Amino acid sequence: MNIYNIKITNETHVAVLNENFVNKTQFKLFLKMVHGCIELKNDLSFFNGEDFYVHIPYKTLSNSVILGNAVPYTLSEHLENKSKIESLVSK
């Protein structure tokens, strides 16, 4: 299983966006949306209708470094991270 990550970093705002996707299709669509905003010189605005909203003005977006990648993620890593979170909550 892979985790797909997009990182948008700007010189003045440092980390503008750092988002992970589990679904490859959603990741691909989001990358195409970012690319389209740069090509058409539009602001990047997105709201999933529930819990994720982003608005990045074109000027900031065009002056940013944008990296997208896929990182392998195993079930054992998931269980390890889950147990760390659970131990923090129980304290």
Rounded to two decimals, the pTM is 0.74
- How sure is the predictor about 26, in pLDDT bands with cuts at 50, 70 and 90? very high
Question: Is residue 12 pLDDT above 90, yes or no?
Answer: no
Tokens 């058409």 correspond to 40
